[in-house]
Amino acid sequence: VTYDAIKIPKWLSLSEMHPVDYYSSYTKNCTGKFTEQEVRNIRAFYYAMCAETDAMLGEVISALRDTGLLKTTIVIFTADHGELAMEHRQFYKMSMYEASSHVPLLVMGPGIKEQQQVPNVVSLVDIYPTMLDIARIPVWQNLSGYSLIPLLHGKAENEVSPRRPRPSWVLSEFHGCNVNSSTYMLRTGRWKYITYSDGRSVLPQLFGMLQFCVLTDSLIYLNGNWFLTDFLFVPDLTSDPDELTNVATKFPAVVHSLDKILRSTVNYPKVSSSVQDYNKRQFISWKKSLGQNYSNVIANLRWHRDWLKEPKKYENAIEKWL
- The pLDDT averaged over each successive group of 10 residues in the chain (322 residues) is 92 94 90 94 95 95 96 94 94 93 93 89 94 90 89 70 78 88 92 95 85 43 43 56 93 96 96 94 96 94 84 94 90
User: Per-residue DSSP letters for 127-183?
Assistant: HHHHHHHHTTPPPPTT-SS--SHHHHTT--GGGS-SSSPPPS-EEEEE-STT-SS-E
Using CB atoms within 10 Å of the CB of residue 136, give its burial: 0 to 12 exposed, 13 to 18 middle, 19+ buried. Answer: exposed
The answer to whether residue 181 sits within a structural domain is no
173 three-state secondary structure: strand
Q: Are 31 and 310 in contact (CB under 8 A)?
A: no
d(CA 285, CA 244) in angstroms, rounded, equals: 39
pLDDT of residue 212: 44
pTM score: 0.84
Helix, strand, coil tally for the chain in percent (to 5): 45, 15, 45
Question: Looking at the domain assignment, is residue 151 inside a domain?
Answer: yes
Residue type, 1: V
Answer with the one of 134, 152, 167 that is the final residue of a domain. 167
Residue type, 53: T
Q: What is the pLDDT of residue 221?
A: 40
Task: Tell me the sheet residues that pair with 107.
Answer: 76
Which structural domain, as residue segments, surrounds residue 149? 122-167
Quickly list H helices, the chain.
19-27, 36-66, 98-101, 127-134, 149-152, 252-265, 268-290, 294-299, 304-307, 311-321
Q: How far apart are CA 112 and CA 154, in angstroms?
A: 9
Residue-level pLDDT at 162 = 57
The whole-angstrom separation of Cα 194 and Cα 174 is: 11
Q: Which pLDDT value is given to residue 69? A: 97
Q: Which of 146, 167, 188 is the last residue of a domain?
A: 167
DSSP 124: G
- pLDDT score recorded for residue 228: 43
Whole-angstrom distance, CA of residue 228 vs CA of residue 289: 71
Residue 180: the pLDDT is: 84
Q: Is residue 289 part of a domain?
A: yes
Q: What is the pLDDT of residue 227?
A: 42
pLDDT at residue 163, rounded to an integer: 61
Helix (H) or strand (E) holding 76: strand 75-78
Examine residue 192 and state whether it is found in any structural domain, yes or no.
Answer: no
Measured in whole angstroms, how far is the alpha carbon of residue 54 from the centre of its chain?
Answer: 22
115 falls within a domain: no
Cα–Cα dist 27/23, whole Å:
6
Domain presence at residue 60: no
- Are 124 and 78 contacting, i.e. CB atoms less than 8 angstroms apart? yes
Q: What is the number of structural domains in the chain?
A: 2
What's residue 302's pLDDT? Answer: 79
Q: Note whether residue 110 is domain-resident.
A: no
Choose one of 150, 167, 184: the last residue of a domain.
167
Distinct helix (H) and strand (E) counts, the chain:
10, 10
Query: What own/partner pairs with CB < 8 Å and gap ≥ 24 does 230-234 have?
Result: 234/190, 234/210
Q: What is the CA radius of gyration of the chain?
A: 24
Name residue 222's amino acid. Answer: L
Please check whether residue 73 lies inside any domain of the structure.
no
Question: For residue 295, which of 277, 279, 313 has the smallest C-alpha distance?
Answer: 313
